[in-house]
DNA sequence: TTGTATGCGTTATCAG
DNA sequence: CTGATAACGCATACAA
């Protein structure tokens, strides 16, 4: 590892000159010197030491990406293809802009804060944070920050969020279910804050349009990492006859349920309709293909990086709330039911046969490692 | 951001003493001073500056993870859940060990080298590199390096690879297909080097056991990123009647093909059997569930980090080649055919109906961004 | 056109 | 027990 100092000594010139050549401040340097330096640069394949540069410039060229994983410690967050896609998009864009990406996944906000400060990252992207988390981080970390999929309240300064028309998406897909004749619809989420809560509001609005109220027994909340448990799935299975449709807050859950139910003889969509949210790889690959809400994850990632860099370069957004459009993707997981059927919905689900589970691993995915 | 110097000044003591307290070298410091320093540490929530530490220690606490993506520039590598799982496992383990992870995905080896050197990473994990790439990297980067899923030749020093019983896996699953009566088996891979080539060898060995030879038309190679193209899929579709089974080198491809074929009326496994490799999320979620080769991705990641840290701590492995065991997972994507049927295999595939593609996005996933 | 000097935050050596 | 000082590699203000 050759350094600027080494080369300066070799050529009998000062480090300043070498540095100037490296940074193309060639107007200040004689042509001869430039050539001599460049020859060495090339010969020894000089690579700058970022730590040193960070220290002297007080800028690290790192973009931190922090994901709060509310799951168990050992669960693998990236099992959900949504996160895989998002991380991939972020990485590509960050690199394309000449920055470096450092990921932190933790359920401990102080750990995230420590990491971000210790690396002196130039900017921070927070995924799926709740209001309080954001406040805590901002109280210690002063550099530009962009949120993805967060719903922090408006009082905060420098609030930039790249989100989705969540309310609209939930509204539209609920309306679709209603239009298809469904009346007893279960709403499944893993929390009642942020994104999921907003989707819940959209769900309510659609119901209201049809003069319906949300019944308590239709609201199914399973904390993150618990839906995958056999006990939860079994519970849902026993309650399935109460509904004609499940509306899930992610494709991940929808696909999980769909397979669990199908493996036990419930026909989708004949006995039960089901919808997802995200339009990720699995929703397209599963059969029957999942009716869901499309979002452009790649664009989400790219926009987040774009805004962040603008902020790093000095642009001030005192408040900015991007909501990417959604789109309903109708595939094959929802059936139309005539209104007179609606009353007894999955009535024929009494025929359900307890079948061997050919998908054992699938249901316990996240428990494997624990 | 308070620094050691700041605190030293406040207390009227030297930075050395503060540093000693921070690192628990408390035997050298009086009890009083320790307390005074700790109070400040706490009050100002001191966080060390890693750049400075890197510089003075010549050790960055960073583990680099480099993925060579041979796909198009804009393709998202993490679409394949295998990589998502692997990255998740690596991240968790690296963090648990008190290190930081920095990811580079690039098809340009020099770029990877530059990044690794510029950050002075303490250790490097290379995923899916070929022999030449490894040599190039090692010629410039001298710190510990662990390979994942590589097949570099044995002459190299400090060669540590965490791999799989690839040959065995391919052998077993091919034998299974043969046992089920299949004789006209297509072998689908995206290259003929490294992992895929080893799997090919296993495939050949199984065929030989049955006194069969590999026919040229049974070897299907599609370069990375090209299988997803409509044209490739269509080509495969037209050739499908020549085979009774497809053996794919990844679940990703298997699932891709399976859905494309099914959407066009080919019944799986009745008309065509299909197998994968990895046992990732999709293989479990798809229907018919995919018969495949199981590997423990989480363990792969954990082992890689484990070995790397041992090397960083000074253990010398002059050569080490871990091959994790595989296991055939029999699900529903392969049917048994009587030997007399084998001759005309997918004969009834002449009934195939060209159906609307309900899975439009799926096939062009990677082209969306291009 | 080139060089000198200084600072960034931390750790380590060695002397008091 | 404590402190002064140098060193890590780079960039920059200021001199020459």
How do residues B254-269 score in pLDDT, each as one tens digit?
999 999 999 899 999 9
What's the CA B156/C1' C10 distance, rounded, in angstroms?
A: 37
Structural domain spans, chain B: 4-48, 62-164+298-326, 166-294+328-364
Where b means 16+ CB within 10 Å and e means fewer, A95-119 reads beeebbbbbbbbeebeebbbbbbbb
Domain A62-164+298-326 and domain A166-294+328-364 have a common topology: yes
What's the CA B15/C1' D1 distance, rounded, in angstroms?
A: 14
Q: Is the pLDDT of residue A72 over 80?
A: no
Supply the pLDDT for residue B72. Answer: 53
Q: Is the pLDDT of residue A365 over 50?
A: no
Give me the mean pLDDT over the A30-44 stretch.
91
B287 and A CB contact within 8 Å: yes
Give me the mean pLDDT over the B177-185 stretch.
96
Give me the mean pLDDT over the A128-139 stretch.
88
What DSSP string runs through B322-351?
Answer: EEE--EEE--SS-----HHHHTTTTGGGGG
Nearest by Cα to B80 from B180, B149, B7, B175:
B149
Among the four given CATH numbers 3.40.50.2300, 3.30.720.120, 3.30.300.130, 3.40.50.300, the one describing domain B166-294+328-364: 3.40.50.2300
What's the CA A304/C1' D13 distance, rounded, in angstroms?
A: 36
Q: Is the pLDDT of residue B61 over 90?
A: yes
Least confident of A98-112, A177-191, A337-351, B321-335: A337-351
Confidence of residue B157 (pLDDT cuts 50, 70, 90): low
Phi, psi of B259 (to 5 degrees): -70, -40
Confidence of residue A363 (pLDDT cuts 50, 70, 90): very low
Confidence of residue B155 (pLDDT cuts 50, 70, 90): low
Q: Which residue of A has its CA nearest to B87?
A: A78
Cβ distance A284 to B362 less than 8 Å, yes or no, reads yes
Q: Which residues touch strand C (CB under 7 A)?
A: A 12-17, 20, 27-30, 32-33, 52, 55-56, 58; B 1, 3-5, 15-16, 19, 22-23, 48-49, 52-53, 55-57
Cβ distance B51 to A54 less than 8 Å, yes or no, reads yes
Give me the mean pLDDT over the B189-193 stretch.
88
Q: What residues in B contact A103, CB-CB < 8 Å?
A: 91, 101, 103
CATH number of A62-164+298-326: 3.40.50.2300
What's the CA B53/C1' D8 distance, rounded, in angstroms?
A: 9
CB B311 within 8 A of CB B123: yes
Q: What residues in A contact B255, CB-CB < 8 Å?
A: 285
Structure tokens at B185: 């088996």
Nearest by Cα to A288 from B287, B257, B175, B308:
B287
Nearest by Cα to A161 from A131, A205, A119:
A131
């Amino acid at each position: 590892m050759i350094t600027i100092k080494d080369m300066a000594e070799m050529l009998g010139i000062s480090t300043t000159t070498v540095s100037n050549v490296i940074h193309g401040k060639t107007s200040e340097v004689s042509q001869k010197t430039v050539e001599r330096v460049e020859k060495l640069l090339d010969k020894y394949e000089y690579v700058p030491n970022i730590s040193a540069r960070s220290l002297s410039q007080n800028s690290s060229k790192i973009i931190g990406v922090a994901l709060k994983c509310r799951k168990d410690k050992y669960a693998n967050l990236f099992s959900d293809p949504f996160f895989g896609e998002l991380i991939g998009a972020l990485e590509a864009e960050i690199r394309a802009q000449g920055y470096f990406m450092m990921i932190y996944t933790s359920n401990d906000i102080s750990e995230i804060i420590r990491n971000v400060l210790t690396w002196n990252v130039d900017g921070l992207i927070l995924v799926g944070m709740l209001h309080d988390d954001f406040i805590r981080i901002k109280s210690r970390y002063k550099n530009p920050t962009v949120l993805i999929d967060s719903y922090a309240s408006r009082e905060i300064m420098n609030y930039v969020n790249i989100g989705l028309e969540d309310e609209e998406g939930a509204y539209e897909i609920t309306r679709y279910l209603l239009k298809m004749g469904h009346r007893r619809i279960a709403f499944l989420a893993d929390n009642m804050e942020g994104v999921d809560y907003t989707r819940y509001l959209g769900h309510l609005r659609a119901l209201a349009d049809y003069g319906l109220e949300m019944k308590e027994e239709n609201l199914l909340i399973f904390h993150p990492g618990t839906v995958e448990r056999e006990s939860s799935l079994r519970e849902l299975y026993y309650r399935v006859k109460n509904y004609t449709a499940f509306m899930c807050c992610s494709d991940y859950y929808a696909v999980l349920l769909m397979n669990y139910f199908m493996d036990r003889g419930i026909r989708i969509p004949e006995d039960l309709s089901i919808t997802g949210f995200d339009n990720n790889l699995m929703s397209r690959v599963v059969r029957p293909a999942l009716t869901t809400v499309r979002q452009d994850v790649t664009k989400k990632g790219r926009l987040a990086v774009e805004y962040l860099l603008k902020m790093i370069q000095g642009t001030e957004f005192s408040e900015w709330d991007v909501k990417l459009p959604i789109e309903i993707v109708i595939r094959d997981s929802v059936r139309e039911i005539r209104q007179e059927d609606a009353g007894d919905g999955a009535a024929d689900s009494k025929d359900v046969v307890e079948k061997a589970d050919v998908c054992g691993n699938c249901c316990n995915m996240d428990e494997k490692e624990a």
